[in-house]
């Protein structure tokens, strides 16, 4: 529902700014991976959808296409702004760093981590929609501040998500599935890459990071202790839910945390 609106507007916007194209590629590419997974689950009646290795392989391919596309559209490929450096440096060139041969592996980790973090976050009514809406607003403001012409695309996604939230808010009448969650992760990470802010995803996508880490910690702790659990349930939003929070409370708190981190990031760039 919301992806169709975004894609129509952003394809039009791509004629005005080349920077929008990798965002469209990433959103559509990861969205198609999610759609294939949902299609197998719903239509083919195979509850597990794509096998883990198939899903990861397809995500790896989309990430590679995204990295390649950005590499041929930027003047200084993959220079990344160092968080907080802009506050302490008078020379704008000092706030960027290039990791050399480690850049591409690092980008794959950032892209796949963000996309799957968004996927893990999609577990409660309106949770991923609300968190992503806040991030889209940040992207629009940050792009304007940095002089990168992707603010209209961020505005298109934010507006589409607002409409979707009317039906996705608790109790949800419509669910986004992997089609929507992977696409949103793809949109966010591509926009941050275009703005040369991938290192700032740690702050902007703090909830995504917390969701991924909670799953990793839960699995490792479960294996190390032979059956004990570190969290009540993972991903971490279920931990709070089982602790007595309502779905709406979790959504509001997670969105507020995202807003605070986004505000901090906006000030530091």
CA dist 235 and 8 (Å) reads 33
CA dist 205 and 8 (Å) reads 26
Which residues have CB under 8 Å from 234's CB, separation 6+?
Answer: 214, 215, 217, 218, 219
CA dist 126 and 166 (Å) reads 9
Residue 240 lies in a domain: no
Do residues 192 and 204 lie in contact, with contact meaning Cβ atoms separated by under 8 Å? yes
DSSP helix/strand/coil, 44: coil
Helix runs in the chain, H state only? 2-14, 20-42, 52-71, 103-121, 127-146, 151-168, 177-194, 201-204, 206-224, 236-242, 247-268
The pLDDT of residue 24 = 92
Strand partners, 97: 80
Lowest mean pLDDT among 12-16, 28-32, 108-112, 144-148: 12-16
Average pLDDT of span 197-214: 96
Q: Is cis: bond before 171, omega within 30 of 0?
A: yes
**Chain segment 211-267, per-residue pLDDT in tens:** 999 999 999 999 999 899 999 999 999 999 999 999 999 999 999 999 999 999 999
Indicate if the alpha-carbon torsion angle 200, 205, 206, 211 is positive or negative. negative
Residue 256 lies in a domain: no
Confidence band of 76 (pLDDT split at 50, 70, 90): very low
Q: Backbone dihedral region of 166: left (phi > 0), alpha (psi from -120 to 50 degrees) or beta?
A: alpha
Lowest mean pLDDT among 16-20, 59-63, 221-225: 16-20
Residue 263 lies in a domain: no
Residue 215 lies in a domain: no
**Chain segment 122-157, per-residue pLDDT in tens:** 989 999 999 999 999 999 999 999 999 999 999 999
User: Domain containing 120: what range?
Assistant: 2-201
Selection from 177, 144, 259 nearest residue 2 by Cα: 177
- Residue 166 structure tokens: 């009317």
How many domains are there within the chain? 1
CA dist 255 and 183 (Å) reads 19
Residue 268 lies in a domain: no
First-last CA distance in the chain: 33
Look over the chain and give the mean of its residue pLDDT values, rounded to a whole number. Answer: 90
State residue 97 phi and psi, 5-degree precision: -140, 145
pTM above 0.85, yes or no: yes
Residue 125 lies in a domain: yes
Buried b or exposed e, range 30-51, using 16+ CB within 10 angstroms = bbbbbbbbbbbbeeeeeeebbe
Residue 207 lies in a domain: no
Residue 141 lies in a domain: yes
- Residue 138 burial (C-beta neighbours within 10 Å; 0-12, 13-18, 19+): buried
């Amino acid at each position: 529902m919301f992806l169709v609106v975004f894609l129509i507007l952003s394809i039009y916007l791509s004629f005005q700014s080349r920077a929008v194209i990798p965002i469209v590629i990433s959103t559509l590419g990861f969205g198609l991976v999610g759609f294939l997974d949902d299609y197998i689950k719903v239509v083919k009646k195979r509850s597990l959808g794509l096998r883990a290795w198939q899903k990861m392989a397809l995500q790896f391919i989309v990430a590679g296409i995204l990295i390649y596309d950005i590499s041929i559209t930027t003047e200084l490929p993959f220079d990344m702004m160092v968080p907080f450096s802009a506050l302490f440096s008078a020379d704008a060139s000092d706030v960027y760093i290039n990791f050399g041969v480690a850049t591409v592996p690092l980008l794959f980790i950032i892209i796949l981590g963000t996309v799957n973090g968004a996927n893990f976050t999609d577990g409660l009514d309106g949770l991923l929609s609300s968190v992503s809406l806040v991030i889209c607003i940040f992207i629009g403001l940050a792009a304007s501040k940095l002089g990168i012409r992707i603010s209209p695309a961020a505005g298109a996604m934010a507006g589409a998500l607002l409409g979707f939230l009317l039906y996705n808010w608790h109790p949800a009448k419509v669910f986004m599935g992997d089609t929507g969650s992977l696409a949103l992760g793809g949109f966010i990470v591509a926009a941050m890459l275009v703005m040369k802010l991938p290192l700032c995803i740690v702050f902007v996508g703090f909830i995504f990071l917390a969701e991924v880490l909670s799953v990793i910690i839960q699995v490792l702790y479960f294996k190390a202790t032979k059956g004990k659990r570190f969290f009540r349930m993972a991903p971490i939003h279920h931990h709070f839910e089982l602790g007595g929070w309502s779905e709406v409370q979790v959504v509001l708190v997670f969105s507020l945390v995202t807003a605070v981190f986004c505000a901090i990031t906006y000030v530091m760039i």
